[in-house]
Amino acid sequence: MSESMPARGASTLNLRGTSTPATRIIGVLALAVMTWVVVSAFFFTAPDVVQGDSVRIMYAHVPAAWVAYLAFVTTAIASGFSLVRRHRTLGFDRVAGASAEVGVLFMGLALVTGSLWGRLTWGTFWQWDPRLTTTLFLFITYVGYLAVRRIDASPERRAKRSAVLALLAVLEIPLVHFSVVLWRSLHQEASVLNPDGDVRLDGLMLFTLFSGVVAFTLAFVWLVIHRQRLQTLVDLQGTVGLDSALAARATEAVLR
């Protein structure tokens, strides 16, 4: 029998991976807007009155931070649903996990770009101000969440434990933020230029920043869809591989 005929019981396999027309559109849009943002950030916008050229880092930093928080919220909501909607637990769990994976990346980028910006503007790579410190704790919390997802346990157990963690994080982060605000207020710091919004941007600069948010959000959506589908494949491979092997064995037995 020729190899192109599917074995009995198995469907046609194909090589399209996790892409669909929808993701291709999102991907192309993301690339297009991102290109515009980069070109505008480097060539069309002028240096800021106060920060100088270092504002060009802001066009990457602010969107990255925004997406990181978006990812955090997505993970929390998906985790909530995965605990409540028991018949779709694993589906929601995969979205929660994918969102956290991508979120960790964006949060890391926010911290790195913020640190580089700080070095240029304040002269130091780090400040113990409330927003930065809370962001750092959020990052560490994410990393812990991902560590729990990598455990060697059943998908159901993984889903449950990490969902509880994600929801606890929703409680934890405001508490951390509040106590750090109180803590730092003890030191009576003069209000420091912080990387997230005290800067006045208008006109083209504001539009570029907004475009950056759009571009990074599109990238986030694209990445989460693909990673969630990838996880589905990983989970399926565990079961399907077994099914195909069993089907192959059955065929063997009949032919013999």
Partner 1 sequence: MKDLGFILLSWSVSLGSLALLALATLRRAKSLAARVPDDQKPWL
Partner 2 sequence: MPDEWCTTMRNVFAVARKDVLIEWRARLLLVRVLPFALLVLVLFAVALDSEALLTRAAAGLVWLAAMFATLLVVQRCFDIETADGALDMLLTSVVEPSRVFFGKVLAVAAQLLVLVVVLLGGAVVLYGVRIDAAGLVLLVTTVVTAVIGLASVGTLYGAVVAQLTGRDSMLPLLAMPVLAPLLIGASRATESAFGSQTIDLATGWAWTSLLAVFGVVFAAAGAASFATLTEPDA
Is the CB of residue 218 less than 8 Å from the CB of residue 29?
A: yes
Q: Where are the beta strands (DSSP E) in the chain?
A: none
Residues sharing a CB contact under 8 Å with residue 12, sequence separation 6 or more, in sequence order: 6
Determine the Cα–Cα distance for residues 184 and 164; give it in Å rounded to an integer: 30
- Cβ proximity to partner 1: between 53 and 189 the closer is 53
Binding partner of residue 52 among partner 2, partner 1, none, CB cut-off 5 to 8 Å per kind:
partner 1
- Cβ proximity to partner 1: between 173 and 212 the closer is 212
Determine the Cα–Cα distance for residues 239 and 216; give it in Å rounded to an integer: 35
Q: Which residues of this protein are in contact with partner 2, per CB under 8 A?
A: 83, 137, 140-141, 143-144, 147-148, 151-154, 156-157, 160-161, 164-165, 167-168, 171-172, 175-176, 178-180, 182-183, 186
- Cβ proximity to partner 2: between 74 and 135 the closer is 135
**Exposed (0-12), middle (13-18) or buried (19+): which is 182, by Cβ within 10 Å?**
exposed
Is the CB of residue 195 less than 8 Å from the CB of residue 56?
A: no
Site for partner 1, residues 93 to 122, rule: CB under 8 A: 102, 105, 108-109, 112-113, 116-117, 119-120
Site for partner 1, residues 28 to 67, rule: CB under 8 A: 34, 38, 41-42, 47, 52-54, 56-57, 60-61, 64
Q: How far is the CB of 164 from partner 1 (least distance, A)?
A: 26
Q: How far is the CB of 3 from partner 1 (least distance, A)?
A: 14
Determine the Cα–Cα distance for residues 109 and 161; give it in Å rounded to an integer: 27
Determine the Cα–Cα distance for residues 243 and 238; give it in Å rounded to an integer: 9
Which residues would be at the binding site for partner 1 (CB under 8 A)?
10-20, 34, 38, 41-42, 47, 52-54, 56-57, 60-61, 64, 102, 105, 108-109, 112-113, 116-117, 119-120, 219, 222-223, 226-227, 229-230, 232-234, 236-237, 240-241, 244
